[in-house]
Chains A and B, each alone.
Chain A
Amino acid sequence: MNDDYLWDKTGQPDPQIQQLEEILGTLRYQPKPLALPQKRNYFPLLAIAASLLLALLAGGIWLRVRSRNEAPPQQASIETPKPKFEDEPVGTPKAPVNKSAVNPSPVVANNRRRNRSAPPALPKREREEALMAKEQLMLALRVTTEKLHLVHTKTQPNQIKNQHRVG
């Protein structure tokens, strides 16, 4: 047996090993290109997320501006009554100021907030405008959701394709 030929193919070739190499060489690896998974492009997702955020922000600002414009008549109705000590005689010493009368308690503040959030009595035209704006906002949100869903379904099949079939 020629050790060198078996070890590093040097020296005198061993006919039996050569024959084996020839026969078994048919099973040798045949180069095939490797299909690496494609790089994920996060730009569409980011763009959609950004537009969604922008729409939400715009909607929030719009709602806030509208509610602020409608606020004054509401504030008038919840004015706290003035303290009575102004009617007292001049000579009498001033009573200590009741803090709770100046700074309304949390309960009062909560009531005020609740009152403000109550649906204002809008004129018919403004109400229709508000409803239309709401509809537009909802439509924009729906479109954005659909786009997100589309992007999600487009990115999913790549992962499935690269999974190995087993058994």
Chain B
Amino acid sequence: MYATADMLLTSTQAPAAEQSQEPAIEVVLVRAVLQGDREGFSRLYELYAPLVHGILLARVPRAEVDDLVQDIFLHAFKKLHTLRDAAAFGPWIAMIARNRAVDFYRRSKETVEINDDLRGSEPHDSRAAEILELIRSLPEAYRETLVLRLVEGMTGPEIAARTGLTAASVRVNLHRGMKLLREQLGFMEGL
């Protein structure tokens, strides 16, 4: 049931401008960067780095996330001229991040031990790593939305605006994902 819902929800993407609270700041910045303003790209990086970080954190080992974030933004900087709609910078870079996460596993042939990378030295870190592991076990649409909400601290409307998903999709993903996570957490505490 959830798999079908996932497919439905992820395919109903709408222009980010519909939900955007920021009056198309990315449009201004993208145009500035294309005209040679490198500072504009630094601003885009500040705005979208948490989104890319969250998308990667939901998919690849934590130790690799920071390097991949930098890598993705450098790639985006080089390929920005290929972006047709400046307002779609968020969905575009989110897609690059998802593809890069897939590439990461394809290249490393799944030899990376995720659990070892996730274990922190502090007990709090360890607990965070355990919960993150639970989130990662959820369907893809839920895990990304939950990480963006619970880890990166973004609100539902922000997630919708940045990823290009509709507000309704994000809302459903959040609630269903949270419900599943609560079940998993209850199961874990019951052990």
Contacts and interface: CB of A to CB of B under 8 A. Distances in A.
B150 A20 contact: yes
A31 B71 CA distance: 15
Contacts of A23: 124, 127-128, 131
Given A28-B151, A29-B49, A164-B67, 10 more contacts: A6-B149, A7-B174, A8-B155, A8-B156, A17-B178, A20-B181, A23-B124, A26-B124, A31-B49, A36-B38
B178 A37 contact: no
B76 to A, nearest CB: 10
A165 B74 CA distance: 13
Contact of B68 (A9, A28, A32, A164): A164
A24 to B, nearest CB: 5
A17 B181 CA distance: 11
A79 to B, nearest CB: 66
A27 interface: yes
The 7 closest A-B pairs by CB, nearest first: A167-B108, A29-B53, A164-B71, A7-B156, A8-B155, A29-B50, A24-B151
B174 A21 contact: no
A160 interface: no
Interface stretch (B8-16, B22-30, B39-47, B85-93): B39-47
A29 B124 contact: no
A27 B155 contact: no
Contacts of B38: 36, 39
B107 interface: yes
Interface string A1-29: 10100111100000011001101111111
Q: Of A26, A27, A28, A35, which is in contact with the most chain B CB atoms at under 10 Å from its CB?
A: A27
Interface in B88-122: 104, 107-109, 111-112, 120
Contacts of B153: 21, 25, 28
Interface of B: 38, 41-42, 45-46, 49-50, 53-54, 57, 62, 66-71, 73-74, 77-78, 104, 107-109, 111-112, 120, 124-125, 127-129, 131-132, 147, 149-153, 155-157, 171, 174-175, 178-179, 181-182
A80 interface: no
Given A7-B156, A28-B151, A34 B73 contact: yes
What is the interface residue range for chain A against chain B?
A: 20 to 34
Contact of A31 (B46, B54, B156): B46
Contact of A27 (B70, B132, B181): B132
Contacts of B171: 7
A21 B146 CA distance: 10
B80 to A, nearest CB: 12
Contacts of A156: none
